[in-house]
Structure 1
Amino acid sequence: MAGRLLWTRCACRAVHSAHTAPTTSSTRTIQARSAMGFPGIPSLPSFFPSGQKEIHFSEQKILGYTPEQVYSVVSNVNSYCHFVPWCRASKVLSHSGATGTAELVVGFPPVLEKYTSQLTLKEPSLVKAVSADSRLFKSLESTWHISASPSGSTKHAHIHFEISFEFVSSFHSNLSRLFFDEVAKQMVSAFEKRLARVYGPSLLPPSTKETKL
């Protein structure tokens, strides 16, 4: 009886080992195929749906500055190199009425990209920039819609910031999805800090909530 019991236990252990071994091997295979070699990040083909290359970010906020003040900072492209993340150089080449052309150098280590943007300026409500001759970006467009606060306060502005782009390289477009939202949020934050530096602290009450899309 004891012998049969011992044999049964050994057989059960053998069957258990036979079933658990493939599971461990399968898990390791999935990790080995993860993106950039980091466990926990799915492989690029499965993580990014095919055909979706353009990336879009949109945010709406109420700022404690007048629309004129916000427009003044956003439309001053010459100053971008001093506070916009990854902007290494910025210069307005021409400006006539509601249109203009600017040259920018953007650094995405180890890549440094120089391109021109076509500007559309409507004081104090719109600042739009569309890249014209970039080798890195297939398309790059940013738009600031600036209006009076819905509350009716003349000291607050409502902003709607949108940016969309697509790299020439599909791989770079797909990879950038992993961090693009955070980069875009840093850009909006950089403009807020610039406003504070130029015009002083925000006049927005702490209890006012921001609206995001």
Structure 2
Amino acid sequence: MKYCRLLLTSYSRICQQNQTKFQLFFEFSNQGKKHFSSYHRGFAPSSFEWRKWSRFYTNRYEETETADSKARTHFEKRLVPFTREHLYEVVKNVDEYKYFVPWCEDSRIIHKKGNEMDAELTVGFKILSEKYISHILLDPPNSIRVRSPETRLFEYLINEWYFKPGPDPHSTWLEFYVSFKFRSFLYQHIVDMFFEDVVKRMVTAFETRAKHVEEEKRAKHLEERVPWTK
């Protein structure tokens, strides 16, 4: 009898845990749809909606992540030889993503107001290609935070960049965080095979771009200072 009671107690606890996970996931789905409703109407969320949205994901995503094996999350921190202001401008310039970000076929800013903007990006891998819209919150030169509503491509996408002072004035601690879940099983399967390589190439691409832009600025500055003679 004692052994049976122990089994029943264990079974009851497992059921309660599963019920809690289901409730969290259900709340996550419904709240997410509520915050994304303005996008379905064709408008970007207001600042108030953004704050609710950010708090929701910050508080809820960590709780549901362990129960969702299809979600993918990556965080890395690098010390890079650029100023915070320079890195911030490179990441903010979404219109240029199509020229250097891996698998980005097109990128453009479709709406901008103050420190918030909406961008449309097209991503593709071989014969696959999809568009999605991101809402971007800017805090120069400290951070850039990106949220994408529920689309055909993603169930959700969270992307955050933080630019923190390095040990000397011309260096920065770059922090990169991304968390997402694809709606398509095919995309999910592809990412599962190359996930770590993909995210590392993403950050490296921005670092390389920062170096390229800095070199172009130096060359232009040198041309302005040194008169060319025939």
The alignment's TM-score, normalised by the length of structure 2, stands at 0.62
What runs of 5+ residues in structure 1 fail to find an aligned partner? 1-48, 202-213
**What's the offset of the Cα at 1:133?**
4.8
1:94/1:172 CA distance change after superposition, 3 Å: closer
Q: Does 1:110 align with 2:127?
A: yes
Match of 1:169 among 184, 188, 201: 184
Give the whole-Å Cα distance in 2 for the aligned partners of 1:131 and 1:50: 21
Q: Which residue of 2 aligns with 1:126?
A: 143
**Per-residue CA shift, 1:69-108, capped at 9, x if unaligned?**
0001001001000100010111011111121100111112
Which has more radius of gyration?
1
> Over aligned residues, Cα RMSD in angstroms?
1.9
Quote the residue 2:79 is aligned against.
62
Greater helix share, 1 or 2?
Answer: 2
> 1:173, CA displacement in angstroms?
2.6
TM-score by length of 1: 0.66
Report if the CA contact (8 A) 2:91-2:206 is conserved: yes
1:186 counterpart residue number: 201
Q: Aligned residues, how many?
A: 151
- 3-state DSSP of counterpart to 2:178: strand
| Separation in structure 1 between the aligned mates of residue 191 and residue 210 of structure 2, nearest angstrom | 28
Distance 1:163 1:51 in 2: 15
SS of match in other structure, 2:193: coil
Higher RCO (C-alpha 8 Å, min separation 6): 1
1:69-88 matched pairs, under 5 angstroms: 69-88=86-105
Whether the aligned pair in 2 keeps the contact of 1:53 and 1:174 (CA below 8 Å) is: no
% identical equivalent positions:
34
1:163 partner letter: V
How do 1:130-145 residues align onto structure 2 when only pairs under 5 Å count?
130-145=147-162
State whether residues 62 and 158 of structure 1, in contact with CA within 8 Å, keep that contact through their aligned partners in structure 2.
yes
